Amino acid sequence: MPRILLTNDDGVDAPGLLALKQAVAVLGEVIVFAPDHNWSAAGHTKTMHKPLRVEEVTLADGSRALTSNGAPSDCVALAVLGLVEGPIDLVISGINYGANLGYDITYSGTVAGAMEAVVNGIPAIAVSQEFVRDEPVDFKVAAAVAREVAALVLARGLPPDTFLNVNCPARPARVPPEIVVTRLGRRVYRDALVRRVDPRGRPYYWIGGDPPTGIPEPGTDVGAVARGQVSITPITMDMTHYRFLADLRTWPWTEHLMVEDNA
């Protein structure tokens, strides 16, 4: 029976994690190891400057879970390094409250959980659910999709260095939704600097602004979610820009290079 490790970045009590757990329970033995607090936009972190606490907690469905004060990637690392006994066949991170599209994947704590699995040679899936402000969020579709994707990955495996990034639209065009395989699209961030002054007269700043939008090009994750489709994007951790290698090799690298001995 496959052993599936679940983590997330919204914290162990998040409803998206519970929905994921209940959906994939039929596929194997499920272990939950998630942060004890929210880690959105945490990036791929390895916590080495502070000790990590690990606690056992009880989820809303009465099952046990491990939690730590580290990031999602720390939870995966701790599990792999020995806090979870025995092999792990698949890591699923999510279901994140909010889409992770385009450049988002470089910031996303949810995606970082999948990255840490890949670094450790374990296939992984990141699952995220778009939301619309002031509308209730339903993880039902995303959970069913996660189960389907997980079953296929367990049966077929993934290439080395690869994970799948799954995004479900807030408003599926139909249910069950159409699933499309996409490339990463283009996010448009609308961050703005918000300057405030503290009671002692000193300025401080928030990175504020509006939620990101995106360019809904055909074939991209941004486009699919905008059209109400579920997007599945294969992601490689080999970020080498292969098409640019040959050009870059023709640059005159050492023509002027001087290292001053007296510097």
Q: Is 13 in the site for a copy of itself (CB under 8 A)?
A: no
**How do beta strands 3-7 and 90-97 pair?**
parallel
Q: Residues 23-62 vs a copy of itself: string with x where CB under 8 A?
A: ---------------x-xxxxxxxxxx-xxxx--------
What's the DSSP call for residue 25? Answer: G
Distance CA 91, CA 125 (A): 6
Report in angstroms how near the CB of residue 1 gets to a copy of itself at its nearest.
19
Report in angstroms how near the CB of residue 203 gets to a copy of itself at its nearest.
7
Which is nearer to a copy of itself, 89 or 187 (by Cβ)?
187
Number of residues that bind a copy of itself (CB under 8 A): 86
At 171, list the tokens.
Answer: 């408003």
Which is nearer to a copy of itself, 1 or 258 (by Cβ)?
258
Dihedral in degrees, nearest 10, Cα atoms 69, 27, 63, 15: 60
Report in angstroms how near the CB of residue 184 gets to a copy of itself at its nearest.
5
Taking the CB of residue 155, how many other CB atoms lie within 10 A of it? Answer: 8
Distance CA 167, CA 141 (A): 11
Q: How many residues are listed for the chain in this entry?
A: 263
At 220, list the tokens.
Answer: 């991209």
Distance of CA 52 to the CA centre of its chain: 21
Select the residue interacting with a copy of itself from 156, 200, 210, 218 (CB under 8 A): 156
Binding piece for a copy of itself, criterion CB under 8 A, among 5-13, 56-64, 71-79, 127-135: 71-79
Report in angstroms how near the CB of residue 180 gets to a copy of itself at its nearest.
8
Taking the CB of residue 202, how many other CB atoms lie within 10 A of it? Answer: 8
Select the residue interacting with a copy of itself from 193, 201, 210, 218 (CB under 8 A): 193
Select the residue interacting with a copy of itself from 27, 30, 122, 184 (CB under 8 A): 184
Report in angstroms how near the CB of residue 207 gets to a copy of itself at its nearest.
5
In the range 78-97, which residues lie near a copy of itself by CB under 8 A? 78, 81-83
Taking the CB of residue 160, how many other CB atoms lie within 10 A of it? Answer: 11
Look at residues 167, 163, 75 and name the one whose alpha carbon lies nearest to residue 115: 163
Q: Is 190 in the site for a copy of itself (CB under 8 A)?
A: no
Going by C-beta distance under 8 Å and a sequence separation of 6 or more, which residues neighbour residue 219?
182, 183
Select the residue interacting with a copy of itself from 26, 29, 60, 106 (CB under 8 A): 106
Q: Is 1 in the site for a copy of itself (CB under 8 A)?
A: no
Q: Is 197 in the site for a copy of itself (CB under 8 A)?
A: no
In the range 216-245, which residues lie near a copy of itself by CB under 8 A? 232-242, 244-245
Q: Which amino acid is at 128?
A: S
Distance CA 28, CA 45 (A): 28
Report in angstroms how near the CB of residue 145 gets to a copy of itself at its nearest.
7
Please tell me whether residue 145 adopts helix, strand or coil conformation. helix
Q: Is 137 in the site for a copy of itself (CB under 8 A)?
A: no
Which is nearer to a copy of itself, 4 or 146 (by Cβ)?
146
